[in-house]
Structure 1
Amino acid sequence: MYEKILVPTDGSETSEAAVAHAIDLAEKYEAGLHALYVVDTDSMSLTLGGEQLDRIEQGRFGEMEEVRERAERATGYVADRAAERGLETVEHISAGRPHSQIADYVDDNGIDLVVMGSHGRTGVRRALLGSVTERTLRSVRVPVLVIDED
């Protein structure tokens, strides 16, 4: 049923719950597993200068060592958990608007299923911060399994 499963991760506990589901499904369907970390350039643009932001969007983190380490830790978590079950993982880091990067990755890599966490924000927090999960649901044309943090 599924040949390639994508788990977008930000390294949070909610993402880790989604990872567990993605790994179970990858094992059950003998599917390839992909881990994607997106550096959210929209939120970073508030604190970074234009030149720094351009380098990040091009995948050149330079002095942004913290960002690279956080991204590698998040995708590495997926790969490590999958390896415990004998599964290989494709790890990828990109930069941009998370829902757009997820949709592009789905299209470019023939992904059949996206498994992602939802932080469950509501009200003003959701209006101000938006919802990557909601935007992803609207942006992709494959099934999306949403794992709530509760």
Structure 2
Amino acid sequence: MTRRILVPYDGSPLSERALEHTLEEFPAASVTTIYVIDPVSSVYDVETGGLPVSEDWYEDAQERASEIHAAAEQLAGSHDVELTTITVVGQPAREILDYVSDHDVDQVVMGSHGRKGIGRAFLGSVAETVTRRAPVPVTVVK
């Protein structure tokens, strides 16, 4: 039986570590990375505290998602693992949990945090929410 592992991947160093951990520890698993486009970032840039971000926020976010997926695929390729990547729009913890519930995921492996500064405090901890509410085991990589 092939394990199905979901790795929330936002391009941050900790999400990269989580993906690396998954690729090393579960080489035979079916691995999917999920990138969540958060609409809050269309109104408020949580990284800089600036308002507004951009009129073309969605196109910019899609472009960023493509870059992030390419980086994840490159990392997986260095381990000879084929990776499935998906992009969804919504609140990160909710979208991750919905994906787990809807897609027969066996485990989530994620970084302990992705955002820094005010963004982390403003949005709360995605890793904490996923860990508390996921119906499957969650490995948090520090």
In 1, Cα distance between the equivalents of 2:114 and 2:42? 22
Partner of 2:110 in structure 1? Answer: 116
- Where do residues 77-92 of structure 1 align in structure 2 (5 Å cutoff)? 77-92=71-86
Question: What is the aligned residue count?
Answer: 134
Tell me how far 1:120 sits from its aligned partner: 8.4
In 2, Cα distance between the equivalents of 1:48 and 1:13? 23
- Where do residues 22-101 of structure 1 align in structure 2 (5 Å cutoff)? 22-27=22-27, 30-46=28-44, 47=52, 64-101=58-95
Gaps of 5+ in 1: 53-61
Gaps of 5+ in 2: 45-51
Q: Cα RMSD (Å) of the superposition?
A: 2.7
Identity %: 38
Q: Which is richer in helix?
A: 1
Tell me if the contact between 1:99 and 1:139 (Cα under 8 Å) persists in the aligned partners: no
In 2, Cα distance between the equivalents of 1:126 and 1:35? 21
User: With structure 2 as the length reference, what TM-score do the two structures score?
Assistant: 0.80
Residues 125 and 80 of structure 1: is their aligned pair in 2 closer, same or farther, counting only changes over 3 Å? closer
Residues 44 and 5 of structure 1: is their aligned pair in 2 closer, same or farther, counting only changes over 3 Å? same
Q: Which amino acid aligns with 2:132?
A: R
Tell me if the contact between 1:2 and 1:112 (Cα under 8 Å) persists in the aligned partners: no
User: With structure 1 as the length reference, what TM-score do the two structures score?
Assistant: 0.76
In 2, Cα distance between the equivalents of 1:42 and 1:138? 23
In 1, Cα distance between the equivalents of 2:103 and 2:114? 28
Q: Which amino acid aligns with 1:18?
A: A
Q: Which amino acid aligns with 1:38?
A: V
Residues 97 and 31 of structure 1: is their aligned pair in 2 closer, same or farther, counting only changes over 3 Å? same
